[in-house]
Amino acid sequence: MHYRQIQDRIARGLGTAARHVGPPYDAFRPRTAHNPLAPEHRYLRLPAAFADENLSLRHPVGYGHAGWGGIFDTAYTRPGDYLVGEIGTFFISAQQPLLPAFCILTNRIVTITRAASPGAAGVNAYGGLTTATATTILSAWPASILFAGTGSPGDLPGDATTPNWTILLPTIPVGLRPADLISDDQGSAYVIGSVERTFLGWRLLAKQAST
């Protein structure tokens, strides 16, 4: 049997299983850097179910795990799509050959801005991140933000340590850089310290901004 026939049967089997055990989800395919869940990006409604990364339904997914195995017809979807439904909002991180989809459950909506570079050498305006000098490069994207440990302590004995966070995003139509600023829908702000881009999407290590 040809590889593509096997892939098609696996996708069809996952879709059949989803029709029996999964509720309907709305599928969105972002086309711009802004508001990927806008109505014009919705392209499909399909049944979907989610389990742990091994597709085991014997144990619930534990605290601190963003990765889920997706049970749905992968012939209609591709990495970077969002699925919105009963459990929450997922993005498809990867659809590897002959395997179910690997999905990330999101818990925040993020906007990413970038400070403008100085216009010329010498005396310039204030170089910090302000509304006037920042450019929005990504807005209203569902992302996973999970605690990644505490950073270095503050300068004074009473200062609390600044937490670090792992931020997961799908493949997006812009590049991300260290020092880009992230704000989320709960009013928290983060500064990107490092960026990693793989076939699974973006993995960012960010420090929470205290001011």
Q: Residue for token digits 């490092």?
A: 194
Domains of the chain, start order: 3-105 (no CATH), 108-208 (2.40.10)
Q: Which residues contact 6 (CB under 8 A, 6 or more apart)?
A: 98
Q: Identify the pLDDT of residue 174.
A: 87
Who's near 36: CB < 8 A, 6+ residues apart?
28, 30, 82, 140, 141, 142
Query: Which tens digits make up the pLDDT trace of 6-45?
Result: 888 888 999 999 999 999 999 999 999 999 999 999 999 9
pLDDT beyond 70 at 159: no
What are 71-110's pLDDT values in tens digits? Answer: 999 999 999 999 999 999 999 999 998 888 999 999 999 9
Task: Say which amino acid occupies 102.
Answer: F
pLDDT in tens, 133-149: 789 999 999 999 999 88
The pTM of the full predicted model, rounded to 2 decimals, is: 0.86
Q: Mean per-residue pLDDT for 142-165?
A: 76
Rounded Cα distance, 82 and 92, in Å:
6
Q: What is the DSSP letter of 34?
A: B
**What percentage of the chain has pLDDT greater than the value 90?**
63
